[in-house]
Amino acid sequence: MKLNDIEHIFFDLDHTLWDFDRNSALAFREIFKKQSLEIDLEGFLEVYKPINFKYWELYRNNSVSKEALRYGRLKESFDSLRFEACDTTINSIADDYIEYLPNNNHLLEGSIEILEHLSRIYKLHIITNGFEEVQQRKMVNSGIFDFFQTVTTSEEAGVKKPHPQIFEKALQKCEALPQKSVMIGDNLEADIVGASQFGLHAIYLDITDQVSQNQFPQIKKLKELLNYL
């Protein structure tokens, strides 16, 4: 099923184009080595990933601040592992993480190829809830920044996806109409439902092994976008 009359494509960044899990693991490996922390990386990541996901949901819903997210996800992970880390160490790791994260820039399979193809036909944009100070560095360092005509962050918009105001801000910046726009992202609530409720088309990138039951077009790999665009 092809989407007709589309002029603008809005992408989420983390977990959609930029391989967050792989790059995050590499950042933690560097930080633990730098700080001489005797902690098993795989065991840490197994605990950290769901805790980080929980904190991002809280952040998206304005239940925690950026600072509380950065500290809390580490503190709770170390506590779960019974690994003793003082506040100074945790805050140091949190600062290093933001600094190191954009240094590793693996993309999800097919990202460059699909962006090269789509950019010849459509105007491409980013809408992200990620921290403004690192998102542009991720895009520049991974070589995808120039594909996009606009980048809208939640900090710039003053609200986070799925709030309608961030979609309104993004569309205003490029003078796009919702009915001629499509949002592509990995978070069903923030990216897909949020965009759809504002009137955009939406395509859900579900890279998990679970089958999601929803009314939206769904893909497992970015190359499958060509089934719709």
Cβ proximity of 52 and 64 under 8 Å:
no
Residue 129 is predicted with a pLDDT of: 94
Residue 212 is predicted with a pLDDT of: 61
Intervals of the chain under pLDDT 70: 209-213
Residue 2 is predicted with a pLDDT of: 86
Nearest residue to 228 (alpha-carbon basis) of 107, 122, 109, 125:
122
- The full set of domains in the chain, from first to last, is 8-18+105-227 (3.40.50.1000), 20-103 (1.10.150.240)
Cα 154 to chain centroid, rounded? 11
Residue 110 corresponds to which tokens in the numbers above?
Answer: 């097919």
Give the C-alpha separation, 157 to 172, whole Å. 11
- Identify the three-state secondary structure at position 135: helix
Residue with tokens 């197994």: 46
218 bridge partner residues: 204
Residue 7 corresponds to which tokens in the numbers above?
Answer: 């002029």
Instruction: Report in angstroms the alpha-carbon separations of 180 from 3, 7, 122, 171, 187.
Output: 9, 5, 10, 10, 21
Nearest residue to 53 (alpha-carbon basis) of 159, 129, 1:
129
Give the C-alpha separation, 227 to 126, whole Å. 21
